[in-house]
């Protein structure tokens, strides 16, 4: 599972979907080096037994000091013995959801929405048969109820053309990623761009 997770991150990068900088951590020195290079980081415990990492406290965001990093690393090691530890650069921005499901008759159907509760609770998503071009992707973004947030809200700015580019590229490369269901959740966007920070693939 960990291997596949990484492979998919690599495929995403290859097809042109940026991925937050990441590194597997086995030793404290590796973690401290990664923190020094990235200033603010996130630490996650990755394992096939952990489906929703934040539900079990296996994600710690906004780590800026070596002391905290080491403490979280040791704590995760203890609490999640079989898991691999992943460090990621921290991305500040708006969280989006980009998913795909393979329908036995229609093929890939993609969905797009704002991340978190907007998808999970309000089901505020727009859907299309894949593939979509950038114009169609732009219409998907305008269709969701929370679409206005993408125009800029309380200091959050995102690049809509970049999001449309990513939706379109994703929709055209689903067979390369494989599986039956693929979720990038979240894709975090700010005025500089968008980065995938988490994935879920159903084989």
Residue 44 interface partner, choices Mg ion, ligand ADP, none, CB cut-off 5-8 Å depending on type: ligand ADP
Verify binding: residue 143, ligand ADP, rule CB under 6 A: no
* d(C-alpha 184, C-alpha 17), whole Å: 11
Handedness of CA 61, 63, 67, 69 (dihedral sign): positive
Shorter beta-carbon distance to ligand ADP: residue 108 or 198: 198
Shorter beta-carbon distance to ligand ADP: residue 34 or 132: 34
* d(C-alpha 28, C-alpha 68), whole Å: 12
- Three-class secondary structure of residue 189 per DSSP: strand
Verify binding: residue 57, ligand ADP, rule CB under 6 A: no
Residues 6+ apart with CB under 8 A from 8: 177, 182, 199, 201
Site string for ligand ADP, 65-104 (x = CB under 6 A): -----------------------x-xx---x---------
Sheet holding 22-25, edge to edge: 22-25, 84-89, 41-46, 59-63
Verify binding: residue 138, ligand ADP, rule CB under 6 A: no
Site string for Mg ion, 131-170 (x = CB under 5 A): ----------------------------------------
Q: Where are the alpha helices (DSSP H) in 86-172?
A: 117-120, 134-143, 160-172
Tell me if 6 sits within 8 A of 203, measured CB to CB. no
Residue 35 interface partner, choices ligand ADP, Mg ion, none, CB cut-off 5-8 Å depending on type: none
* Closest separation in Å from C-beta 185 to Mg ion: 4
* d(C-alpha 180, C-alpha 185), whole Å: 16
* Closest separation in Å from C-beta 74 to ligand ADP: 20
Which residues sit at the interface with Mg ion, rule CB under 5 A? 185, 198
Which residues sit at the interface with ligand ADP, rule CB under 6 A? 20, 42, 44, 52-54, 59, 61, 88, 90-91, 95, 186, 188, 197-198
């Amino acid at each position: 599972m960990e291997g596949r997770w990484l492979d998919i991150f690599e495929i995403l990068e290859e097809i042109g979907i940026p991925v937050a900088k990441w590194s597997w951590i086995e030793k404290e020195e590796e973690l401290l080096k990664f923190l020094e290079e990235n200033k603010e980081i996130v630490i996650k415990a990755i394992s096939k037994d952990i489906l929703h990492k934040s539900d079990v406290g296996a994600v710690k965001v906004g780590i800026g000091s070596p002391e905290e990093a080491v403490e979280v690393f040791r704590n995760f090691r203890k609490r999640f013995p079989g898991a691999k530890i992943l460090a990621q650069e921290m991305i500040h921005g708006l969280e989006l959801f980009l998913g795909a499901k393979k329908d036995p008759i229609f093929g890939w159907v993609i969905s797009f929405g704002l991340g978190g509760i907007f998808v999970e609770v309000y089901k505020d998503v727009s859907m299309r048969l894949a593939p979509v071009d950038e114009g169609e992707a732009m219409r998907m973004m305008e269709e969701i109820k929370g679409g206005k947030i993408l125009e800029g809200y309380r200091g959050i700015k995102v690049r809509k053309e970049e999001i449309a580019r990513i939706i379109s590229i994703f929709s055209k490369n689903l067979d390369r990623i494989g599986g039956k269901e693929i979720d990038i959740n979240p894709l975090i966007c700010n005025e500089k761009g968008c980065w995938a920070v988490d994935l879920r693939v159903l084989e």
